[in-house]
Each structure stands twice: as structure tokens, then as C-alpha cells.
Structure 1
Amino acid sequence: MKAAVEWFRKDCASAEARASGRVTPQLLSPVRVKIDGGEYRLEEVATVGVREGSTLLVTLFDESTMKAVESALYESKLPNIVPQRQDVRTIKIPIPKPTVEARQRLYVDAQRKAEDTRVQLRKQMQTSVKRGKFAKHSIELEEYQKLLDRCIEDVDKTLAEMKKVAGGGK
């Protein structure tokens, strides 16, 4: 259960960063580069830095990986990611400030993920209770319910923080 809550919290943190307009190298963390039959994280084949607060700069360790990195950036389908080749080892990615609609879309996505997380938590509780074969009004069952309530409360708090940053839907 805690893993599901932590996943949701991390996902919201990255969405909050996008909604607030902060540009961080973590924006490119989902990018996976396919080289020589293997799949690598972008951080393993290049450094990612921020320049002038609104531009990501990807500097490759090996210039022969340029095509693979460019195609990985395009295939990642991250919003507003348009790589521009600077030279044989550098790719510049300007990140525009998010619009009101984009921030609201991020909040709506977060709401959907919050509901998915809540459903996952309830399923996990049901599975644990069935596996434990607890009596109807046992102490263990009450403890599981308290744990579920705490986890759902954490999800709701995270969503409320996201709403403040993103200026959630009206």
C-alpha cells in the first residue's frame, strides 16, 4: 500500500514541477535510449542540465549515440519536448511556460491517477484480508481499515497540494 502511495506522490511531484513551470533534469527521467540492443536511462548516456531556467541541455558522453538519443526523446512523447541539435554532442530542449489549460489538464490527470491509486489500495486490502482469513469484526480487520484510511488520506492530501500548484479545475 505504501508503495502505491509513494508512486502517486512522486508522479504528482513531477506533474507539480511541470505545472509550476520549473524546469528540472527530472523532466527527462522517463526517457529510455535503445543502443546496441540494450535499453538505457538517458542519464546513463548523457548529462542533463538546465540553462537560463527554461532550457534543458543534453550533453552526450559519446557522439555516436546522437541518433538514438534524439529518437528516444521523440518516442517518449513528453509534452512540449522538441529537441534541437546544437552540435555533435549537444541537444537543446526549450521548455515553454505551461498554459492555464495545460495546468488544468495535469490536475485532471492527477485526479484520475488518484482514483486509480485508491482503487489499487482497496484491492490490496481485500487481497490481504482474504489471504489472512480474519473474522468479521476482528482487531486485524480494524487495523487494515485504519491503514487503508491513512493511505487514502495521504493520496487526498497529495491531490490537494497538486490542486494548489496547478490551479485545479473549477
Structure 2
Amino acid sequence: MSAAALISRTRLFTTSASFLLHAQCRSRATRPVTLAMHQVRSYAKPVKKSKDKGKEKESADVPQSGKKTGKGLSTDELIPASQRIPASADYKAAETKMQGVLEWFRKEVAALETRATGRVTPAVLAPVRVKLPNASDARGVRLEEVATVGVKEGTTLLVTVFEEHSLKYVEQAIYDAKLPSITPQKLDNRTVKIPIPKPTVETRNALYTAASRQAEDVRVQLRKLHQALLKKADVSKHSADFSTYQALSDKLMGELDKILAHLKKATS
């Protein structure tokens, strides 16, 4: 082989080796980059916290006035413990009795007010209770159960009994009622008349005094019914229902005071 050919082969071999070495180095240089790209982590974009999140949670737990909560309950529908009415039969029965006592007093005062204004009506004799012999009720019966009461000439009451033998008991009952300026006068075996004079200042004061005495009796009855209710229902001062039972008594006592105050104004 000539020297020129040998030199040509050597150059070709050198060029090929350089090309392979360059390609290998280039491959090694790009490999780490590829791996690095696979090792990059992806992170979600951070969510901005709402400043009202705490308020929303609080509003969900605490019902707003006049608004419905998650359970459909409004704060306007909530009833304080002191205003809750027990559904017990004892409570209802006691409430009915106490209301009955108060209504009786209201009617009595209405009759007294009628007299204080000078009007003559059968209601003037409403407080009269007639005690008949062998009667089942020791307190007596109402006057209209044994007699009729009419008005004559706008100034006189006429009482006519159903049976003659009961007239004396009716007369006595009118006296026992201690109605101011009321004096029965016998006309015949079945009738008495009662002239009603025009009310004077003294008469109006006497009417109010009589109503005040009746009011004290009513207060005593209301207290007794209230105490009996507490005892029967086994309610102590420290129990949850005590305020409710006490509220009933306070309410009726307040109505009693209003009735008496109205009469005082009418008789003054």
C-alpha cells in the first residue's frame, strides 16, 4: 500500500471516530435534560381564602331574627320558657277556675258601676244570694232563680217571688247583701219594692269600698287556687315551670287591679 493511501485511510478513520464521539457526547448531554423534565412536579394553583368564610359558618349556626334556619325554624317563632303554657289537665282546670272567679268579680263591679252612675237595672241586685231551707248549696242561690226583678218608672225595683213562702228569705238575703242605700219594702205576699235613690258622693264612695272588700276576697281565692295548683303539679320555686304558673297568677291579679281602678274612676 502506498504512503498516500495509508494517510487517506487514517484521516477517514479519525473523522469517523470524531463523529461518533461527538454524537455520543451530544446524546449524553441531552439525556439529563429529558430526565429532569420527567421529574418536574405540578402544583395546583392556590385557592384564595374567603374573608367571609368564618362569617358564613357563624351565620349558618346562629339563626338570624326573622329568618329561617336550616331546619326551617325562625327566631321569631321561639317562645321563652316563662311564656310556655303547660298542656297538663291540672293547669287547664286551675286556669278555668281562676278565670271564673275573676269574671264573677267583673260582673259584680259592673253592677256597682251601674248604681254609681244612677242607672236602675236588675243588675243592682246581682250580689244577692238567697239561702233557702234544705238547700244543697250553703252559699245560697241567685235571686233570679227564685224571683223576677223588674224596673218601675226608672227609679224602683220590683221583686216578685215564684212561691209565697220564699218571700221572707228573699227579703233577708237583700239585707244580708249589705248593698248601700238598698232597703226592701213589702207590697204583698209575693212582691217587694226597692226604691233606688240617686247616688250621692257618699253612696259612690260606699260602692267603691264594697268593691274593694270583694276584691280582697277575690285575691285570697286566686292565691289559694294558685297554691293548690303548684302543690298538685308538684312545682317548686326552682323548677322550670314555676315562672309559667306564676305568670298566670300575676296576669289575673293585674286584671283584678284594672277592674277596681276603672270603678274608682267611675265613682270619683
Aligned residue identity for 1:91: V
Q: Does 1:32 align with 2:130?
A: yes
Match of 2:114 in 1: 17
Q: 1:40 to 1:147 in 2, by over 3 A?
A: closer
Unmatched tracts of structure 2, length 5 or more: 1-97
Match of 1:50 in 2: 151
Q: Please state how far the C-alpha of 1:94 moved relative to its aligned partner.
A: 1.2
User: Contact 1:34 / 1:72 at 8 angstroms: preserved in 2?
Assistant: no
- SS at 1:139's partner residue? coil
Percentage identity across aligned positions? 53
User: Contact 1:47 / 1:60 at 8 angstroms: preserved in 2?
Assistant: yes
- SS at 2:119's partner residue? coil
User: Contact 2:180 / 2:206 at 8 angstroms: preserved in 1?
Assistant: no
Provide the C-alpha distance between the structure 1 equivalents of 2:209 and 2:245, rounded to a whole number of angstroms: 29
Q: Please state how far the C-alpha of 1:105 moved relative to its aligned partner.
A: 2.0
Q: 1:14 to 1:46 in 2, by over 3 A?
A: same
Counting only pairs closer than 5 Å after superposition, residues 1-170 of structure 1 correspond to structure 2 as 1-29=98-126, 30=128, 32=130, 34=132, 42-61=143-162, 70=171, 73-74=174-175, 77-86=178-187, 90-167=191-268
Larger of the two Rg values belongs to structure = 2
Q: TM-score, normalised by structure 1?
A: 0.74
Unmatched tracts of structure 1, length 5 or more: none
Q: 1:51 to 1:133 in 2, by over 3 A?
A: same
Which structure features the higher share of strand residues? 1
Shifted more, 111-120 versus 57-66: the winner is: 57-66
Highest RCO, 1 vs 2 (Cα 8 Å, sep ≥ 6): 1
Shifted more, 141-150 versus 102-111: the winner is: 102-111
Shifted more, 70-79 versus 10-19: the winner is: 70-79
- SS at 2:241's partner residue? helix
Name segments (4+ residues, structure 1) moved above 4 Å: 37-42, 60-77, 85-90
**Aligned-residue CA RMSD in angstroms?**
3.0
